[in-house]
Structure 1
């Protein structure tokens, strides 16, 4: 009987290995830089920060191809932090939305170059080193009604914003909003977009107790349906104080003709930063 034991032993070893592999696959660690950065420590984690909510759908979450090596505006910086899904502050490293927009493969978005540009222009705030806190909230494929007050995406964004302020203090500098591609599919969604966006801004300001909260929305560069022009027109016609429009039309797209390329995301980040800096300059801010 002894010769039969070796195949049995091999079979049991194979079953054990398969079970371990299945366990590891269930863990599904993100295959990106942010997985590693989530275990890194930043001495600025509990310092007051200038906070920015990153909200909307896939082009805000980032679908730009991850280049190797990373362009300099995407490299980690000790004073650029990200609020992880666990609501812990970790060093920001792309893809920023890997643990938020979990059903898709995230890539490069506009937030890292935006943050780098701000650091270049504002090294101190009230005699303190400027620390930036990015709060990812965007989820690909979402329509604007999914961001209405009471919906999970809205409530999660508000909760994350409050958590960001509570952990170390600081203030919310604004919301970077890039969404609307999914609202170009149905005519009813497209024609009602403007009213829903205005309601969203009002609800965020009320719930965050920031009546003058800055919202920088990105004008669509593309759409999933035939009503992109209607949504773009709605974006342009939103006439609320402290709501700015940065138009992405004309920026290069990936082959799918829907998502911005890495080059475009880098350019958009700089455009968003310039809009923010110009807005603050008009108010006499040092940053």
Structure 2
């Protein structure tokens, strides 16, 4: 009797796990504009708050999940990075509008799993192989596959912290090493990467060098969408909600047009 009950409970648990395991997994990496600051403001005490406003493009969807800090799949909702980028106030980012746009364009695409990994203020050197951020990205990526699914792409929004004279000179080689190492360590030799060309107005004279590297990256499985034309919060560094939605939808369009998004495997 006990064994029969145990078997039934185990079967139910496995069925629930299978239902919650997304088929299509996307890794989200980079710094603050990936983790999201849309809707943030400074209150009367100059403390950064999120206004809690969620536009329809960022709404929860039963077919969108996120891997939380405990590496468990849960229903996705804004702010996606609230338990990952814990030292900052997170708001709207590009992840939810990206996922919602894919499902709007291709209703048969299947469930989507978002794996938030971005941390505000991080330079590309902090994502090198063997660093805390890199190891956590690989660990979370592997954990996302525990019950099946397939990693479809890495979404990458980073570079604002590398606009110094010295860091900008090394950005190309560091970015290439990061992408190549990640593909090797995840055993996905042709992992698609869709990155965002940075555009923040307050990044100094070397921002255009970073942009040039991103917009002209020479790799068959890398695409770059341009954030130029974005509008910002009062700090002139972080995209507002409207522009985060725009970037997320651009990322979705790039994936669907470039990486067999219309025919998920």
Pairwise same-fold verdict (TM > 0.5): yes
Normalised to the residue count of structure 1, the TM-score between the two structures is 0.79
Equivalent position of 1:92 in the other structure: 76
**Matching residue of 1:118:** 102
The answer to whether the 8 A contact 1:218-1:248 is kept is yes
Q: Any gaps of 5 or more consecutive residues in structure 2?
A: 1-15, 40-49
Q: In structure 1, list runs of 5 or more residues that go unmatched.
A: 1-41
The residue that corresponds to 1:4 in the other structure is none
Match of 1:206 in 2: 184
1:192 aligns with 2:170: yes
Structure 1 residue runs of 4 or more that deviate by more than 4 Å after TM superposition: 42-45, 66-69
**Alpha-carbon shift at residue 135 of structure 1 (Å):** 0.1
Aligned to 1:73: 57
Aligned to 1:148: 128
Aligned to 2:145, the other structure's residue is in SS state helix
Q: Residue 254 in 1 paired to residue 233 in 2?
A: yes
Q: Per the alignment, in what secondary structure is the counterpart of residue 192 of structure 1?
A: helix
User: Which of 77, 87, 90 is residue 106 of structure 1 equivalent to?
Assistant: 90
Q: What is the DSSP-based 3-state SS (H/G/I as helix, E as strand, rest coil) of the residue aligned with 1:117?
A: helix
Contact 2:227 2:247 in 1 (8 A): yes
Q: Does structure 2 conserve the Cα–Cα contact (< 8 Å) formed by 1:45 and 1:90?
A: no
**Is this contact kept in 2: 1:49–1:171, CA < 8 A?**
yes
Partners of 1:63 and 1:109 in 2: CA distance: 6
Aligned residues: 239
Q: Summarize the Cα distance change of 1:44–1:115 in structure 2 as closer, same or farther, 3 Å threshold.
A: farther
Distance 1:205 1:134 in 2: 18
Aligned residue in 2 for 1:58: 32
TM-score by length of 2: 0.85
Q: What CA RMSD, in Å, does the superposition of the two structures yield over aligned residues?
A: 1.9
Counterpart among 116, 122, 141 of residue 161 in structure 1: 141
Distance 1:241 1:158, change over 3 A: same
Deviations 1:134-184 (A, max 9, x none): 000000000000000000000100000000011x21101100000000001
Indicate conservation of the 8 Å contact 2:215/2:226, yes or no.
no
In 2, Cα distance between the equivalents of 1:47 and 1:280?
22
Question: Shift of residue 224 of structure 1?
Answer: 3.4
- Tell me the alpha carbon deviations over residues 193-229 of structure 1, each in whole angstroms, 9 at most, x when there is no partner: 0111111110111011111100001000115333111
Instruction: After superposition, give the CA deviation of every residue in 1:81-120 in whole Å (9 maximum; x if it has no partner).
Output: 0000010111111110011101100000001010001111
Query: Residues of 2 paired with 1:216 and 1:284: CA distance?
Result: 16
Contact 1:215 1:242 in 2 (8 A): yes
